[in-house]
Amino acid sequence: MKTEVKFPLRTRFAQDIVCEFLPPARKSDKVVILAGGAPAYPGKNGKLMAFFAEAGYWVFVPRYRGTWESGGVFLKHSPAEDLVAVMDGIAKGFVDYASRAKFRVPHAKYFLIGSSFGGPAVILASRDRRVSKAVALSPVTDWTKQEGTAEPLELMSELVPLTFGEAYRAHPGVWKKLAKGDFYNPACELSKMKARPKTRTSDVLVFGKKLLIIHAKDDGVVPFAPAQEFAKAAGAAFVALRKGGHLGLGALVKPRIRARVGPFLKKK
């Protein structure tokens, strides 16, 4: 059965977050939220959205607050909070603004998939109990280890305002905020989890069992080693690719990635 919706619909969550979405090709309670890289244009995922819709998922592609069509200030809030806000909104019901059609996904099962900059969003948001599985492709797991890569934060701080303009709305040095390592940083949050007296090691492992990280050894944008170390510390599944470079969301349709991601999402 083919989905009747050929083009992504649009809604808004938490007032600021504009989100494209597609209903599934058949009745389903499965929801996948795609968190893309940044800086990048998020409106190029139509084919990927259709792929997941045909597979029986509700598909959502949010614009992070302060970027592109969304309101707000970039990185005033963690992008992980944006994903949680989208889940909150889906649970309450939402509207396609063009047609005014109303939608609701009762008892949704959430699957988060992100790449690169969006990787930390799905990793951190996957701690939410509503999330069934999370997949991170070439994710940044420690912002303090970006120096020496093709995209160090110092360069991003200069380059993004010049090349993307108002698509990313924040003060010029906002990328340097990430360099401190205490904001939107999975490695820091994992350390906090382990340090809390009431947090047991088993709690970390339960969080990790939801998570699959796929990273290529020849990634020049986000280093491989920190991701491997994080996966081991969190108890997450980890797939090391000998080659592949920096993986974006588009890699999800490639056979070798689909062969890893598909079974993981179905695994109970």
For 211-266, how does the pLDDT look when each residue is reduced to its tens digit (9 = 90+)?
Answer: 999 999 999 999 999 999 999 999 999 999 999 999 999 999 999 999 999 999 99
Question: How many CB atoms lie under 10 A from the CB of residue 113?
Answer: 25
**CA distance linking residue 97 with residue 99, whole number of Å:** 6
Contact, 198 vs 121, CB < 8 A? Answer: no
Q: How far, in Å, CA of 131 to CA of 42, rounded? A: 22
Handedness of CA 81, 87, 90, 96 (dihedral sign): positive
Confidence of residue 3 (pLDDT cuts 50, 70, 90): very low
* pLDDT, mean of residues 158-169: 94
Quote the mean pLDDT of the chain. Answer: 93
Confidence band for 80, pLDDT divided at 50, 70 and 90: very high
pLDDT at 84: 97
What are the distances in angstroms from CA 209 to CA 7, 13, 202, 204, 267?
34, 28, 10, 9, 11
CATH 3.40.50.1820 fits 9-266, yes or no: yes
- pLDDT grade for 196, boundaries at 50, 70 and 90: confident
CA 230 to chain centre: 17
Closest to 138 measured CA to CA, from 157, 117, 111: 117
Instruction: Please report which confidence band the pLDDT of residue 56 belongs to, taking 50, 70 and 90 as the band edges.
Output: very high
**Residue 199 — pLDDT band, cuts 50, 70, 90?**
low
Residues 114-127 have a mean pLDDT of 97
Pairing of strands 17-22, 30-35: unpaired
